[in-house]
Amino acid sequence: MVIAAASVAACTVVVALLTPTVPVRSAGVFYLVAVLAISSIYGLWLGLATSVVSALAFNFFFLPPLHTFTISSSGDWLALAAFALAALVTSQLAARERAEAEQATRRAAEAELGERLATLIANGSQLQTALPLLGRQAARALGARDGGIHLGPPAPSAQAGRAVPIELDGRRLGELRLIDAPAGIAESADAARIGRILAGLIALGQEREQRLANEVEAEALRRSNELTTALLRTVSHDFRSPLTAISTAAEGLRFAVLEGDERELVDTIAEQSGRLSRLVTNLLDLSRLESGAAVPAAEWVDVRDLVDAAVADVRANGDVPAEVEHESDLPLVRVDAAQLQRVLVNLLENAAKFSPPGTPVRISAAARGGRVTVSVADSGPGVPDSERAHIFRPFYRGAGGREPGSGLGLAIARGLATANGATLTLEPAHGTGATLTVSIPAAPVPEGRPR
């Protein structure tokens, strides 16, 4: 107000100096200088006050009757209206210009803040180590003395009006807590924009940490697989020679004249050495699958022949009852016959292990949508939901089997099926038992080749 009064006084002195040579009404224009200056700098209300004081000073000192506040002509009223209108227009234009300048300054500051925060996120080894400085810089950009970022749901003790929500696509990531912040700043548009910036940066940091963790886990898994494969290959090869010698000796002793107990011991040696030999064969197959060495020798095959051969193979190793059902007209498939037969043998042995004694295993083949499917179903307890995602993992042993296994049969079956372009899946549970299905592409038969 003092500046406005000083401006009016200065303009009065200037008009007084000019009136001897310049008409009074023309010299009164200098009062507009004070009105324009005060309005543009201090806003509308002080500008209007300046216009009123200017009009009164001009009327008191220069308009007849002098030294009175009487306005005797319409021209004097016009001068007062001109002063007020000038104050109004100038203050509005100045206020708009200041608002635009302030907004541009805020946007530039927010862009600079976003760049600093993005650099902080990118260079930080962990998101948690970057959050304190991130929150401090964001809070100071809003005029607060300090601040911090809290991830997760809002704390019950947080003060209302002192926290800016950090949300991304409607999902709350956390909040920016302000310390000694201006009143109402947490609900302002500036706070909302900074909250969105923080949400994007925090989501980026979390995604980066998850990606790095996945890369580390994948690398560790790759190294573990390489070590496991190398170990399996080495041990399996070392076991094969002595196992062959034991099996050969046991078979030779069967032709000797032995007492009842001695023959029982020989049979046990032959049975267990055969079991160990199959385990070594499984380990070798697994190592070849994991190293990519199990390359199939594809040929045209009738799936019905593979099913019959697999059933005969399983029956030769023990009393495994099986019910076979297949359609009469199945298309040929192009696969490695030995590998796919091994897949079916493993499925049959697995089904027999989980079926009650004397209960037949059901195996069926059918053509479905350009593929040939072979399903093996048992009458066991089924696969619990907690195990369905793990049964194809190597060395995983499901519960409920009549005898312990190595946990390799299904893993090898899926690996061999995949190598031949087929899929092996566990069907959804329907009642008791489990059903495993091999789905094989039915490749088009070349012209002239019989079906």
- Predicted TM-score of the model (pTM): 0.47
Which phi and psi (to 5°) does residue 265 adopt?
A: -65, -40
Q: Residue 451: its pLDDT value, please?
A: 47
E strands along 211-274, which residues? Answer: none
What pLDDT, on the 0 to 100 scale, is given for residue 306?
A: 92
Note the pLDDT of residue 450.
46
Give residue 249's pLDDT: 84
3-state class of 447 per DSSP? coil
174 in Cβ contact with 195 (< 8 Å): no
Between CA 171 and CA 167 the distance in angstroms is 5
Cis peptide bond N-terminal to 65, omega within 30: yes
Q: Which helix (H) or strand (E) holds 380?
A: none
Angle (CA) 371 373 375, round 5°: 170
Which residues have a Cβ under 8 Å from the Cβ of 95 and sit 6 or more positions away?
A: 43, 44
Domains detected in the chain: 2-100 (no CATH), 226-291 (1.10.287), 299-441 (3.30.565.10)
29 secondary structure, DSSP code? G
**What is the pLDDT at residue 87?**
61
Predicted confidence at residue 156, as pLDDT, reads 60
pLDDT < 50 regions, the chain: 447-451
CA-to-CA dists, residue 442 to 235, 303, 326, 333, 413, angstroms: 38, 10, 15, 5, 19
pLDDT for position 424: 92
